[in-house]
Amino acid sequence: MNKADVNPPYDIFSVTVKKAILITPFLKRISVDAREVSGLRPDLPGQYLKVFVRDADGFRQPGRAYTVRRFNPGTGELELDFVLHGDEGNISRWASRAEIGDKLEISRPNTRSGISIDPEIRNYFLFADETGLPAVAAIVEALPAAVEARVFIEIANAKEMQPVKGEAAISVRWLCRELGERLVDAAKDLSIPSGSLVWVTAESGQVSAIRTGLKKQKSLGTCAVHASGYWKKGVADHRDPD
Ligand SMILES: Cc1cc2nc3c(=O)[nH]c(=O)nc-3n(C[C@H](O)[C@H](O)[C@H](O)COP(=O)(O)OP(=O)(O)OC[C@H]3O[C@@H](n4cnc5c(N)ncnc54)[C@H](O)[C@@H]3O)c2cc1C
């Protein structure tokens, strides 16, 4: 069988790993030099781009979406947080072994990705599992002091906790799967004020269940809702329809 590189219809940039740190047992932060990559906007938390790795024969494999955890326009340093979910996924396998000096290929951020912080919004309800946590942490860091953010994060166990900080009034509830705590249950019976921003990024089945539950909220029609499945159990390269 003839193999070939995957060639998407947009520019791909080869970047070099500058730092690779395990921030929890299952989350690795990889920093790359992204000075050549345009479109990275620190004022748009939740931006995402495509990450590509090559197979053993050197051929570029189909990319996967990853969130800009942080971008420093002064130094060009781009931080991406990778969930290490095992060797079944090309990217997870690559990330678990990545070291300083390794090469990675990335796209520019998707032009429709990221949210601009609306000064009129006073209440944020943010739900995520480990894959959505980079976006939620970046959003929380970007919020002004005058707003309130209630954050719900589902993780495998307590070892996966990490600081989620910002200037806003933030409350974080960690939900541990090993204790049977689930995002979908935490989202039930919440009272969401009109005009809130609701953000849900997690496994696709859970996002659907949360979306269904939230629809019972009378105030939801007045809220800005971003709900997207970031992966799907048993499905490689899952994308929720836009
Ligand atoms: C907009 C967007 C932003 C995202 N941002 C991030 C991010 O910042 N960090 C991050 O880690 N992920 C993020 N994801 C999720 C990531 O793209 C997927 O997890 C992706 O499938 C991983 O690719 P892979 O090559 O490792 O595995 P794939 O080849 O896609 O999948 C192989 C197998 O692994 C399973 N799998 C995939 N992801 C997980 C997981 N997290 N846990 C358990 N099993 C899994 C699949 O169900 C499949 O059975 C994001 C997704 C989207 C859509």
pLDDT tens-digit profile of 189-217? 899 999 999 999 999 999 999 999 898 88
Please say if the pLDDT value at position 2 is more than 90. Answer: no
Residue 181 Cα, ligand 1 centroid: separation in angstroms? 21
233 CB less than 6 Å from ligand 1? yes
pLDDT at 241: 76
Distance, CA of 188 to chain centre: 23
Atom of ligand 1 nearest to the CA of 233: 47
229 CB less than 6 Å from ligand 1? no
CATH class of 13-106: mainly beta
Atom of ligand 1 nearest to the CA of 228: 53
CA 227 to CA 124: how far, in whole Å? 13
Among 92, 105, 106, 153, say which to mutate for ligand 1: greatest number of ligand atoms within 8 Å of CB.
92
CA 135 to CA 45: how far, in whole Å? 7
pLDDT at 147: 97
Atom of ligand 1 nearest to the CA of 113: 1
64 CB less than 6 Å from ligand 1? yes
Domain map (residue ranges) of the chain:
13-106, 123-231
CA 35 to CA 49: how far, in whole Å? 15
CA 190 to CA 197: how far, in whole Å? 14
For 72-98, the pLDDT digits (tens) are: 999 999 999 999 999 999 999 999 999
- What is the fold of 123-231? Rossmann fold (3.40.50)
81 CB less than 6 Å from ligand 1? yes
> Taken in order 83, 225, 51, 81, is the CA torsion positive or negative?
negative
Residue 31 Cα, ligand 1 centroid: separation in angstroms? 18
242 CB less than 6 Å from ligand 1? no
Residue positions counted in the chain: 242
- Whether pTM > 0.95 for this model: the answer is yes
CA 225 to CA 95: how far, in whole Å? 31
209 CB less than 6 Å from ligand 1? no
Nearest one of 34, 35, 33, 36 to 18, comparing CA atoms: 33
140 CB less than 6 Å from ligand 1? no
221 CB less than 6 Å from ligand 1? no
pLDDT at 223: 94
pLDDT at 242: 67
Please say if the pLDDT value at position 240 is more than 90. Answer: no
